[in-house]
């Protein structure tokens, strides 16, 4: 089958970041399907490249995590018009697979369904517009109404909705009766392989976006406490970028136990995780963030790391159920270090935790298994439309 895969922020293994779409597109290609990915880049011209057997159409639409809300909206709108024109020129397609965020990507799928009679599957990576509403980014009543109406329409017209967590699926089901499937983010257990416990001091690592919703300041608070009370026992690494990067650097300017690495590709992330004992995943207190499926968690468990998370929800439940880390409510550094020492005193229990963490990755989130599920779902949709 021929698939138009729409993802505004498509990334490859070499680029790093969230590469779920790369994994899925490769699985589709390996099954013999023809995949055309439509995405954006920060260059002034269009490019079409053959990347690892898939055709990638890069559109000149600037975007950066540091963009404010209005600038992001402009980027979203520019992408949907350019992406629709590009998709409409692809002949003999069987299916559109559109992945959020942003929700506006669904407009492209709606238009292709209406004007090109192409069925589509919609993938929900975040609950929009509920997320920006709870985060305070979408306060205008008219914009809220329009966003919720668009969400309902996108869900209603889809053949299937793929969600990344049980909480996201529950959110979708409150709005639409369209069939759903949960396929979480994935652990690449062939690429990320556990290594022996790193030498001390204990290294606590944050990976990913550094934005307002990520509350990285809570990790810097831990570093400040550690520098005062355990100056030789802990070090902290922050790898990523975002709108809050410079502010976080200012907060940490007097700390000798904090290092900023910038955004890393997957190979560099693997090397960093090999040097780390603990990975730290932090979000704000908004309930919608409890539904997240953070790719850094799945990389971490593939490498067999101790996992700490600052929000409740399904990831927190997994961590507690499989005893691979703990929940930290933030703003109480003394409690954090008590929990860490209780979990793995002098890190002597590190190897046992690492085994449980890796086992969770292998049994529930192995990339080969989950990408095969997505491929099977898309093939089933196409078969049903051709009957």
For domain 202-364, say whether CATH 3.40.50.2000 is its number: yes
Q: Enumerate residues 6+ apart whose C-beta is below 8 A from 88.
A: 112, 115, 116
Cα–Cα distance measured from residue 231 to residue 244, given in angstroms and rounded to the nearest whole number: 26
- Kindly give the confidence (pLDDT) of every residue in the chain, 387 residues in length, as a single tens digit, with 9 standing for 90 and above: 999 999 999 999 888 778 999 999 999 999 999 999 999 998 999 999 999 999 999 999 987 766 776 777 888 889 999 999 999 999 999 999 999 988 999 999 999 999 999 999 999 999 999 998 998 888 889 989 999 999 999 999 999 999 999 999 999 999 999 999 999 999 999 999 998 888 889 999 999 999 989 999 999 999 999 999 999 999 999 999 888 999 999 999 999 999 999 989 999 999 999 999 999 999 999 999 999 999 999 999 999 999 999 999 999 999 999 999 999 998 899 999 999 988 876 667 888 999 999 999 999 999 999 999 999 999 999 999 877
Cα–Cα distance measured from residue 216 to residue 237, given in angstroms and rounded to the nearest whole number: 11
On whether the CB atoms of residues 17 and 241 are closer than 8 A, the answer is no
- The CATH H-level superfamily of 2-186+367-386 is Glycogen Phosphorylase B; (3.40.50.2000)
Q: List Cα–Cα distances, 333 to 49, 186, 330, in angstroms.
A: 48, 31, 7
Using CA atoms of 66, 70, 75, 81 in order, give the dihedral in degrees to the nearest 10: 170
* Every domain of the chain and the residues it spans: 2-186+367-386, 202-364
Beta strands in the chain (DSSP E): 2-6, 34-41, 47-51, 54-60, 95-99, 120-124, 160-163, 180-182, 202-207, 234-239, 258-260, 278-281, 306-309, 325-327
Best CA proximity match to 311, nearest among 213, 242, 220, 209 = 213
Prediction pTM value: 0.94
Beta strands in 229-374 (DSSP E): 234-239, 258-260, 278-281, 306-309, 325-327
Q: Is 310 exposed, middle or buried (0-12, 13-18, 19+ CB in 10 A)?
A: buried
On whether the CB atoms of residues 186 and 20 are closer than 8 A, the answer is yes
Cα–Cα distance measured from residue 79 to residue 105, given in angstroms and rounded to the nearest whole number: 8
Q: Enumerate residues 6+ apart whose C-beta is below 8 A from 253.
A: none
Cα–Cα distance measured from residue 282 to residue 217, given in angstroms and rounded to the nearest whole number: 9
Best CA proximity match to 123, nearest among 289, 10, 261 = 10
DSSP-derived pairing of the beta strands 54-60 and 47-51 = antiparallel
């Amino acid at each position: 089958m021929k698939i138009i895969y729409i993802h505004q922020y498509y990334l490859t293994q070499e680029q790093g970041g969230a590469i779920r779409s790369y994994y899925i597109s490769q699985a589709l290609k390996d099954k013999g399907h023809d995949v055309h990915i439509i995405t954006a880049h920060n260059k002034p011209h269009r490019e079409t490249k053959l990347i690892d057997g898939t055709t990638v159409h890069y559109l000149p639409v600037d975007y950066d995590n540091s963009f404010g809300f209005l600038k992001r909206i402009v980027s979203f709108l520019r992408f949907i018009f350019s992406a629709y024109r590009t998709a409409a020129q692809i002949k003999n397609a069987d299916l559109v697979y559109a992945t959020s965020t942003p929700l506006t990507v669904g407009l492209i799928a709606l238009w292709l369904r209406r004007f090109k009679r192409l069925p589509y599957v919609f993938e929900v990576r975040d609950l929009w517009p509920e997320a920006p509403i709870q985060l305070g980014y979408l306060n205008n009543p008219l914009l809220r109404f329009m966003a919720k109406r668009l969400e309902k329409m996108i869900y209603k017209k889809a053949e299937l909705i793929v969600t990344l967590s049980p909480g996201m699926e529950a959110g979708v089901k409150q709005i639409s009766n369209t069939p759903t499937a949960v396929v979480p983010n994935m652990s690449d257990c062939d690429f990320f392989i556990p290594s022996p416990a790193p030498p001390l001091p204990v290294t606590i690592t944050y990976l990913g976006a550094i934005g307002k919703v990520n509350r990285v300041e809570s990790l810097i608070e831990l570093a400040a406490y550690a520098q005062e009370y355990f100056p030789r026992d802990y070090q902290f690494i922050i790898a990523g970028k975002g709108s809050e990067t410079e502010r976080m650097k200012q907060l940490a300017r007097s700390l000798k136990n904090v290092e900023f690495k910038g955004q890393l590709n997957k190979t560099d992330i693997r090397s960093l995780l090999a040097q780390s004992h603990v990975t730290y995943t932090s979000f704000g207190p908004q309930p919608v963030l409890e539904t997240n499926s953070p790719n850094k968690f799945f990389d971490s468990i593939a490498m067999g790391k101790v996992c700490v998370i600052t929000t409740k929800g399904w990831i927190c439940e997994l961590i507690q159920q499989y005893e691979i880390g703990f929940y930290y409510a933030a703003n109480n550094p003394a409690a954090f270090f008590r929990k860490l020492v209780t979990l793995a005193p002098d890190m002597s229990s590190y190897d046992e935790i690492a085994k449980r963490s890796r086992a969770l990755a292998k049994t529930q989130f192995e990339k080969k298994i989950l990408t095969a599920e997505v491929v099977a779902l898309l093939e089933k949709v196409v078969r049903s439309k051709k009957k």
